[in-house]
Chain A
Amino acid sequence: MASLRNTSIKDKQTLIVLLTSGVALLLACAAFAAYELMTFRSTMEQNLSTLADIIGSNSAAALDFGDPKAAKETLSALRAQPNIVGGCIYTAKGEVFAVYDRDGGTQTFVPPPLQPEGTHFGENSLQLFHRVEQNGEYLGTVYVVSDLDALYARLDRYALIAIGVFFASGMAAIVVSSRLQHLISGPILSLVKTARTVTEEKNYSVRAVKRGEDELGVLIDSFNEMLKQIQERDAALQKSQGELEKRVIERTREVEENRHLLDGILRNSVDGVMAYEVIRDEEGELTDFRFLLVNPAAERLLGQPSAGLVGRGLLEACPDIVLDGLFEAFVRIVETGETLDFEYSGVRSSIMRWYRLAGVKFGDGLVVSYSDITERKMAEERMERLRNEHKDVLNSVGEGIHWLDNDGRIKFENPAAAKMLGHEIAELIGKPAHVTMHHTKSDGTHYPVEECPIYATLNDRTIRRVKDEVFWRKDGTSFPVEYTCTPIKDEHGNFAGAVVVFTDVTQRKVAEKAIEDMHKQLLDSSREAGMAEVATSVLHNVGNVLNSINVSSTLVSDRVKKSKVANLSKLAALLKEHANDLGIFLTSDAKGKQVPGYLGQLAEHLMSEQATVVEELALLHQNIGHVKDIVAMQQSYARVSGVAETVQIVDLVEDAVRMNGGALQRHGVEVLREFAEVPPISVEKHKVLQILVNLVRNAKYACDESGRKDKLLTLRIVREDERVRISVTDNGVGIPEENLTRIFNHGFTTRKEGHGFGLHSAVLAAMEMEGSLSAHSDGPGKGACFTLELPLKS
């Protein structure tokens, strides 16, 4: 088959035509021969059967009569048929009755045993058994055997004819195909020729000739098209190859330039640059790095010239590198491929220096760049130290400190502040300060951010000191604070929020409260003993008077001590000394002559001294009397505490006015009295007086504060059924409505020096006496009216 494949298409075609026609012819011949054979055999069978039938009919009588001779004669008629080899007749009993042998006695024919009726083709023979019957009676059987020579002769003839036809048609096919094959193989061969030309001469301009529009025509078209494309591509390729060469030249130049640039950079770089390749042992394990490149800056860092390093191992050249931990870092870069950028410190020339190192894997090795960042690092450390010191200071102060940005969000919080507020520092950073810790006032009402002093500082950038506010803890409790908020600027001079420094004043408040309580207790006890208000004024007055007394008495005693009286005794001694010649002494002695004049002067002086002392003593006496008066007046009210006595209300009112008399006059307050007739009532006198003194003094203050010229105080006494009403009305500053009830609260006062229990104790006292005390005012600036109501009979 392989040889067939390589034969030319022309031969293949011829062969195919021949084989095809040969096979067709062969099949036709075989079919024809088979048909002819079958037909012939059937004819033979028929002929033989007819022959046997004739013989049977003719030999029936002979059998019937048992005449073998006649039977043999009948059989010899077979001689007319040359192809009958032999024949015999069997009796009904199956015995051979008569035999015919074509070749006569040569024993070629031997009658076979009797078989039933039928034909059998044997080897080279056709045998037939035919039953002989007469009138339905079985007489015997005729057996005829024929050779097949005629058949074979016929077959031989057919074979001859077939071969003849075979050759004739074969020749005809060769002739026809050799004529027709040009239609197919011609164009193919032409194509082959063209292809060979292209291949051998590399000439893509030749084209195959097309002869028709069949498949080959298409093939040639495609082939030509292909050639055309190849031709074009070849041209383009030729062109681009030219360009490529140009570009390669350019690129080479660029690379060269870049290398120069890189060399320049490496040479002049402040950073040390080194390249290493990995040294591995036989197992491929990394053992060291070999220097490939060391730039001048790196030479300086390593303290060795490049020439001494390149080609050597890192561990060998710089054994201390392991101590620095760099070797492990290099191994990591090479093994993981990650880029490392880290800072490390090392001692160079006995000075601690810091380096920043960046390493990148490069092939089986790495490129490392170092820079000396010692200066920066030291500056950073200084900064850090400074920052830590500041932080230490901020962290250690007991005051809470937070720094708010311009939006009021917490930027910094020191531990003391966070602790006071019950938060973690991290929780507070970035939180708006006001809503976090300053949302509610101490009285439990909402604290709007617009009113917050801290926010005001953020807006107007002025320092504020605030007392009496509360900050709220995380757990919802609050604590009293005092704080300062200070606006601060950043390094560019821009406002960077405010710093709030606050102190938890709970302890101080407690202490203050204790002192206040003690003070109140003292005042309460003094009020219990008598009248606190009166006592305050009495003590002040007594104090002042005592001062004058003190000064006067000191003055008098000084005067007396320094008195020139003493000089009299000196003079007497002098005169005694000159007792014998007194006359001469007084008239002619320089000293003695002056004595009479001196005596006159001394007398005059002593008189004036006496006058001064007398004057001072009079003042002293007067002041002592003054003290007595004050004390007596105080005692007249203090002594009778708790005892009800029957008094005229008018007297008590007048006493109250009198006790404030000086002040009323000093401040130009006119007093108007509208007293109705009321019977005497039984009351605790000092209590009523305490209330009235309070009311009158308050009215006076109210008038004073209003600043008006026509200050007026109206006192009324009115009887209503079984009660008496005493009202004190002023035209002073008045009382805002919200304060009308609060003024009776303990500790409430609108006056700076007020202690806020005057009205409180007054209302208590009124209640103790089954009376009442009420206040009325039309509002600020419209004056006020206080009314004490007491029962006529207790």
Chain B
Amino acid sequence: MKAPRPHKRNRRILVIDDNRAIHDDFRKILSPVDNTPTALNLTETQIFGLSLTEERQIRFEVDSAYQGEEGYAMVQKAFDQGRPYAMAFVDMRMPPGWDGVQTTQAIWQVDPEIQIVICTAHSQYSWQEIFEIAGQNDRTIVLKKPFATIEALQLAKDLTEKWTTLHYNSKKKAI
């Protein structure tokens, strides 16, 4: 794998959840469609001057998987292609297949660098149990549903950044 310089940010995110509505939620937050026509903005600039430079929202590349097994396969594929995901949002409860913990453990077998956010609305597992099973480490964060959009967005931003930093640091060390 070539290390692009300067570090290219990895903004690939995988959402694993059996509920389609949740996927839509994530897309709305992480990959919003800015449908403001460019012409309109240009005209505004000309009429009102440069006073209104809107900060442009970061857009993430969001992929979807509806079962743990499917998500695991996608992580493997992405890793093999050299385009690994920086992070994944994994639902805790995804009947009938793997639950969030099983999925996380499987994914880490393939790609140990991936950052995981376990999402849960209500579950038999307590937080402590989740940590115990998934391993007490700095690669897991639990996000409780319902979540605020800003929470999801911040997690996405911070964790992709973290992935990038760790990834290139470890490469530097390896060199």
Contact = CB atoms under 8 A, between A and B. Distances in A.
Contacts of B120: 543
Nearest to A592: B47
Interface string B124-165: 101010000000000000000111111000000000000000
Given A545-B21, A555-B28, A539 B121 contact: yes
A152 interface: no
A591 B46 contact: yes
Contacts of B4: none
B43 A594 contact: yes
Contact of B145 (A544, A552, A571, A605): A544
A551 B28 contact: yes
A663 interface: yes
Contacts, number: 98
Contacts of A550: 25, 146-149
A686 B19 CA distance: 28
Contacts of A539: 121-122
Nearest to A598: B43
Contacts of A543: 120-122, 145-146
Nearest to A667: B96
Given A554-B148, A598-B43, A536 B124 contact: yes
Contacts of B95: 663
A704 B19 CA distance: 19
A547 B146 contact: yes
A595 interface: yes
Interface string B92-121: 010110010010000000000000000011
Nearest to A605: B40
B1 interface: no
A547 B99 contact: no
Interface string B6-22: 00000000000001011
Interface residues of A, number: 44
A546 B145 contact: yes
A601 B102 CA distance: 51
Interface residues of B, number: 36
Given A515-B128, A544-B121, A704 B96 contact: yes
Contacts of A704: 96
B47 A547 contact: no
A548 B29 CA distance: 11
B21 A544 contact: yes
A608 B22 CA distance: 24
A451 interface: no
A753 interface: yes
B17 to A, nearest CB: 8
A608 B35 contact: yes
B99 A753 contact: yes
Contacts of A552: 28
Given A574-B47, A598-B44, A536 B149 contact: no
Contacts of B124: 536, 753, 755
B35 A612 contact: yes
B43 A544 contact: no
Contacts of B123: 540
A514 to B, nearest CB: 12
Contacts of A612: 35
Interface in B56-81: none
Interface string B28-43: 1100000111011001
Contacts of A597: 43
Nearest to B132: A512
B19 A554 contact: no
Given A540-B122, A550-B149, A555-B28, A598 B22 contact: no
Given A551-B25, A551-B28, A551-B29, A605 B146 contact: no
A519 interface: yes
B103 to A, nearest CB: 13
A762 interface: no
A691 interface: no
A555 B31 CA distance: 12
Given A547-B22, A550-B146, A595-B47, A540 B93 contact: yes
A318 to B, nearest CB: 63
B60 to A, nearest CB: 15
Interface in A661-695: 663, 667
Interface string A744-772: 00000000110100000000000000000
Interface in A96-129: none
A547 B145 contact: yes
Contacts of A551: 24-25, 28-29, 149
B150 to A, nearest CB: 8
A548 B148 contact: no
A726 interface: no
Contacts of B93: 540, 753
A598 B121 contact: no
B122 A602 contact: no
Contacts of B21: 544-545, 547-548, 623
Nearest to A555: B28
Interface string A417-429: 0000000000000
Contacts of A376: none
A542 B44 contact: no
B39 A601 contact: yes
Nearest to B98: A752
A567 interface: yes
A548 B147 CA distance: 9
A594 B22 contact: no
Contacts of A752: 99, 102
A591 B47 CA distance: 5
Given A536-B122, A564-B40, A598-B43, 8 more contacts: A540-B93, A540-B121, A547-B147, A550-B146, A571-B47, A574-B47, A594-B46, A612-B35
Interface of B: 19, 21-22, 24-25, 28-29, 35-37, 39-40, 43-44, 46-48, 54, 93, 95-96, 99, 102, 120-124, 126, 128, 145-150
21 contacts: A539-B121, A540-B121, A542-B121, A543-B146, A544-B22, A547-B146, A547-B147, A550-B147, A550-B148, A551-B24, A551-B29, A554-B150, A564-B40, A590-B46, A598-B43, A598-B47, A602-B40, A608-B35, A612-B35, A663-B95, A755-B124
Interface of A: 515, 519, 536, 539-552, 554-555, 562, 564, 567, 570-571, 574, 590-591, 594-595, 597-598, 601-602, 605, 608, 612, 623, 663, 667, 701, 704, 752-753, 755
10 smallest CB-CB distances across A and B, nearest first, come from A543-B121, A539-B122, A546-B146, A551-B25, A547-B146, A554-B149, A543-B145, A550-B146, A548-B21, A598-B43
